């Protein structure tokens, strides 16, 4: 029996407690849905020292011709206070036309709908005029080390090549049909540290307070703005996310202070040019500042996160037009083509093929009582089914 019902598909996935890095049975449940459709299933366990092993899944149906990939993740974030949930977070209970459960929208719901869409396509038309594959990780909500990156490398080494990819993340802010993500801003993080001289708060002349320096440096990072935005992207924005001194005593001047920051940047920058701009700002602020009046300029160290996310924009008309037309055909809405929001695994997939993102409404993702309207599951399945037919029609033309 083909898995044509997205509601049943989603219930089976939600009932698997796949909190990162646990597989929780979710990939096994997904494989059981895909096998009756003729998919060849590969389970790939990726490993790296110092990180948890991650179970991933790659499945493919079809042969020669255009190759469409659907990418996503079955891992979910922790449930938080389980007692605060109206319905148990892994029960997939339905109330007032909505299904409750961790991962309902982020993003087991998208996977459930795409499975149903493929099943309906195969039921009506037989195997696709080319290939459809599922690239599903268990490490998107975690460090993203043993997930999509390594699964792509594994598949490419086996000779897999993709012509386009749809990521089923919840992209719609209010209702289905609002938004397709056609790119993402880059993301760069770092931590700056200022060393001072610890001392008694009553004898400041014997100490150097690093808090003064860290405040001067962080202010230089946040002002002035980095740019005014570009045609396709919002202005780059840096946020200082924490300032730490590790000091529990109110009468002790701390020995050091550090601050972490993250910047989401547009296509005015590369990670390398942005690093240079940040260092230039810090150098100017350090030279102009001091830990106390009359003392030497501020001295700082900076440590960058190991792997920045690079900005990208997809310009593949066949992919974007097929999905936009499918959304409009099913919902009557013309979706906004957007590059807003955070990062996703599309940042890795862009190096292999054109990629866009479209999924459910994301209002409740990561929240207590994460839930999805049953009507949205059916609508999204219809969009995906229409998209599959349109994309293969464009790609095969």
Say yes or no to pLDDT of 81 above 70.
yes
Give the per-residue SS3 of 234-284: CCCEEEEEEEECCCCCCCEECCEEEEEEEEEECCCCCHHHHHHHHHHHHHH
Does residue 223 surpass a pLDDT of 70? yes
75 flagged as catalytic: yes
CA distance 75 to 24: 9
pLDDT at 59: 98
The pLDDT assigned to 396 comes to: 58
The pLDDT confidence band at residue 290, using thresholds 50, 70 and 90, is confident
Spell out where the chain has E strands. 40-46, 54-62, 67-73, 94-95, 98-100, 131-137, 164-167, 179-181, 183-184, 186-195, 199-200, 237-244, 252-253, 256-265, 300-304, 312-313, 336-338, 355-357, 371-373
The per-residue pLDDT of the chain, averaged, comes to: 95
Q: Kind of pairing, strands 336-338 and 179-181?
A: parallel
- Binding residues for Zn(2+), as ranges, are 73, 106, 141, 169, 366
Of 140, 345, 376, 385, the catalytic one is 140
Q: Greater confidence, 64 or 363?
A: 363
Residue-wise DSSP of 108-125: HHHHHHHHHHHHHHHHHH
What is the model's pLDDT at position 211?
95
Which of 59-63, 73-77, 128-132, 391-395 has the lowest average pLDDT? 391-395
Taking the CA of residue 121 as centre, how many other CA atoms within 13 Å lie in the half-sphere pointing to its CB?
Answer: 27
Asked if residue 291 has pLDDT above 90, the reply is no
Task: Give the residue-averaged pLDDT of 315-327.
Answer: 96
Confidence of residue 266 (pLDDT cuts 50, 70, 90): very high
Mean pLDDT computed over 358-385 = 98
pTM above 0.85, yes or no: yes
- Whether residue 286 has pLDDT greater than 90: yes
Question: What are the structure tokens assigned to 30, written together?
Answer: 């997904």
- 44 has a pLDDT exceeding 80: yes
Q: Binding-site residues, please?
A: 73, 106, 141, 169, 366
* Percentage of the residues of the chain whose pLDDT score is greater than 90: 92
- Region of 341 (left: φ > 0; alpha: ψ -120 to 50; beta: rest) is left
Q: Is 93 labeled as catalytic in the residue annotation?
A: no
Question: In this prediction, what percent of the chain has a pLDDT beyond 70?
Answer: 99
Query: Could you read off the pLDDT of 293-320 as tens digits, one per residue?
Result: 878 789 999 999 988 999 999 999 999 9
Residue 394 pLDDT grade (very low, low, confident, very high; cuts 50, 70, 90): confident
Tell me, what's the pLDDT at 307? 84
Of the pLDDT bands very low, low, confident and very high (cuts 50, 70, 90), residue 395 is: low
From 5, 23, 55, 75, active-site residue: 75
Burial class of residue 124 in the structure, from the number of CB atoms within 10 Å of its CB (0-12 exposed, 13-18 middle, 19+ buried): exposed
pLDDT of residue 48: 94
Q: What domains, with CATH codes, occur in the chain? A: 6-184+311-396 (3.40.630.10), 186-304 (3.30.70.360)
Residue 91 has pLDDT above 60, yes or no: yes
pLDDT tens readout for residues 142-187: 989 999 999 999 999 999 999 999 999 999 999 999 999 999 999 9
How confident is the model over 6-10, as a mean pLDDT?
Answer: 98
């Amino acid at each position: 029996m083909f898995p044509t019902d997205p509601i049943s598909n989603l219930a089976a996935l939600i009932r698997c407690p796949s909190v990162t890095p646990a597989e929780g049975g979710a990939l096994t449940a997904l494989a059981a849905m895909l096998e009756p459709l003729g998919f060849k299933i590969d389970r790939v366990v990726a490993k790296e020292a110092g990180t948890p092993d991650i179970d991933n899944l790659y499945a493919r149906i079809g042969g020669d011709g255009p190759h469409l990939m659907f990418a996503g993740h079955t891992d979910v974030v922790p449930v938080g206070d389980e007692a605060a949930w109206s319905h148990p977070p892994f029960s997939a209970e339905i109330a007032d036309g909505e299904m409750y459960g961790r991962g309902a929208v982020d993003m087991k719901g998208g996977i459930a709908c795409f499975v149903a869409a493929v099943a309906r396509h195969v039921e009506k038309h037989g195997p696709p005029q080319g290939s459809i594959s599922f690239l599903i990780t268990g490490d998107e909500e975690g460090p993203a080390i043993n997930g999509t990156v390594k699964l792509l490398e594994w598949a490419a080494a086996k000779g897999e090549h993709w012509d386009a990819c749809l990521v089923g993340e919840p992209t719609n802010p209010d209702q289905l049909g609002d938004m397709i993500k056609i790119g993402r801003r880059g993301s760069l993080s770092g931590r700056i540290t200022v060393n001072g001289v610890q001392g008694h708060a009553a004898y400041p002349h014997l100490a150097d307070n690093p808090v003064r320096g860290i405040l001067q440096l962080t202010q230089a990072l946040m002002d002035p703005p980095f740019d005014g935005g570009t045609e396709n992207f919002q202005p780059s924005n840096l946020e200082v996310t924490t300032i730490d001194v590790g000091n529990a005593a109110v009468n002790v001047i701390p020995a050091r202070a550090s601050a972490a920051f993250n910047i989401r940047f547009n296509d005015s920058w590369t990670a390398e040019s942005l690093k240079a701009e940040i260092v230039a700002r810090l150098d100017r602020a350090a030279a102009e500042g001091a830990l106390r009046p009359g003392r030497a300029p501020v001295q700082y160290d900076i440590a960058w996160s190991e792997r920045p996310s690079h900005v990208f924009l997809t310009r593949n008309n066949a992919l974007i037009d097929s999905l936009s037309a499918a959304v409009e055909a099913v919902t009557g809405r013309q979706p906004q083509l957007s590059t807003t929001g955070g990062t996703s695994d599309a940042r890795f997939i862009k190096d292999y093929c054109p990629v866009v993102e479209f999924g459910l409404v994301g209002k409740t993702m990561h929240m207590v009582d994460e839930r999805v309207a049953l009507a949205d599951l059916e609508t999204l399945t219809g969009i995906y089914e229409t998209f599959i037919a349109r994309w293969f029609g464009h790609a095969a033309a």
